[in-house]
Amino acid sequence: MSEMFTVGGVRRARPFIVRRLGHVGLTVTDIDASLHFYRDHLGLRVTDWYPFSERFPAAMLDPAFREARTVFMRYAGDHHSVVLLNRPAHAVLESDPSRRYESGITVQQISWQVDTLKEVVEADRWLQASNIETQRAGRDMPGSNWHTYFYDCNGYINELFYGMEQIGWDGYSKPFPMHARLFNQRPPLPQISEYAEVTHFYRQGVSPTSGTRDDEPEEPYEVDGILLARPFKVTQIGPLGLFVPDVKTTADFYRQRLGLAVTEIVSWQGFESAFLRCGNDHHALALFPLGLREHLGLPSHTTLAFLGLRVTNYGQLQAARSYLQDLGYRTVSWPHTLVRGFDYVCDVMDPDGHVVRLYHQIEQLGWSGQPRGQGALGTAADRWPEVLDGRDEEVWGPPLYGPLG
């Protein structure tokens, strides 16, 4: 019998349990154009910029690195859900010998949440003992999350994290002096609580309103009773779709190493794709063969198949689709066979050629683990009724916590 681990009082095959996809990092060419798309048009808020001049002062003397920029963005309480990095930022980060970025991969990180710091620490030990290449462990700032970073079989960087900083009603992120408890190595246990940590800095005179706070523009849209800056609200990140060289090998990695479960294997025109889950959502991760990219008419430079972003309801999804099309963003259509777990989606291309998949609900799997089968009904332009017929027994995921704006 293989080694077993006790995780929160329960015997498990791994020393951690992946709870959800927490955040995703994307490499972009024009960070200003991407920021305009994700912030101004999708409504994600900027929480922090990476402090390159403080963390890499020597590297920043090189003119080639001076344009390095990384921006952290959120849709709700988590400090960040989407991270945008430009290519000079990659070059600076790679000057740190603990980091490596696989050439050609444009998804900079895939971050999975676990429940406890102990799970992160034990996962780091387990990954190394399992001969999985790890990148680094410790605690990141900005964001405050404790982590271990490692590579999948293709070179995609994955992160297991705990303790993401939460942005409250005032909208401020932690001030820079609170970044002093950054860790560049696996932390010893136990650690003080975050509440005690923040209290310490308050007593040192650090103002809670000296962090970053993003402002919103005017709010001309009435959205389900609330005035907002755009006619919809992003309420969830994920699922994530990736293009990979070998779907089966990659699916085996995420199934065996991270504990994701295979929901469906789907074939289309000789291409086999896999959909894996870590909870009740039909999938948290979708894997597609690299050769499929050309058949879908997607740019050859991106390894992102899609980044899922949920909006509150079907009416908002319709409004988002019209809003983004009116702004001139390109929408793309996937074959229905490959759009699993959704009924209506809007796939829109960001300025760097990455596909963002907007949706309003994703199929929930119960105790049997069996999906309903054929998915998308509404990717074609002529299949969007003004109003959907609902069923009282439908369950499409967790509710929205907190206000729309």
Q: Give the pLDDT band (50/70/90) at residue 1.
A: very low
Residue 259 lies in a domain: yes
240 and 340, same domain (yes or no): yes
Place of tokens 């909870």: 279
To the nearest whole number, what is the mean pLDDT of the chain?
Answer: 93
- Domain containing 118 — which CATH number? 3.10.180.10
Torsion of Cα atoms, 351 then 355 then 356 then 360, to 10°: 140
pTM, to two decimals: 0.95
pLDDT of residue 374: 60
Residue 365 lies in a domain: no
Task: Summarize pLDDT for 8-39 with one digit per residue, the tens.
Answer: 999 999 999 999 999 999 999 999 999 999 99
Residue 252 lies in a domain: yes
Residue 398 lies in a domain: no
> What's the CA gap between 181 and 78, in Å, rounded?
19
Rounded to a whole number of angstroms, the CA Rg of the chain reads 21
Residue that finishes a domain, picked among 339, 359, 379:
359
Q: What is the mean pLDDT of residues 127-155?
A: 97
Residue 389 lies in a domain: no
Number of domains in the chain: 2
Domain residue limits at 310: 226-359
Residue 400 lies in a domain: no
156 and 256, same domain (yes or no): no
Alpha-carbon separation of residue 245 from 204, 210, 251, 273 (angstroms)? 52, 46, 11, 11
Per cent of the chain over pLDDT 90 is 83
pLDDT of residue 375: 52
Residue 272 lies in a domain: yes
> What's the CA gap between 405 and 402, in Å, rounded?
8
Q: Where are the alpha helices (DSSP H) in 150-239?
A: 194-203
Q: Is 308 exposed, middle or buried (0-12, 13-18, 19+ CB in 10 A)?
A: buried
Q: Give the pLDDT band (50/70/90) at residue 344.
A: very high
> What's the CA gap between 152 and 307, in Å, rounded?
18
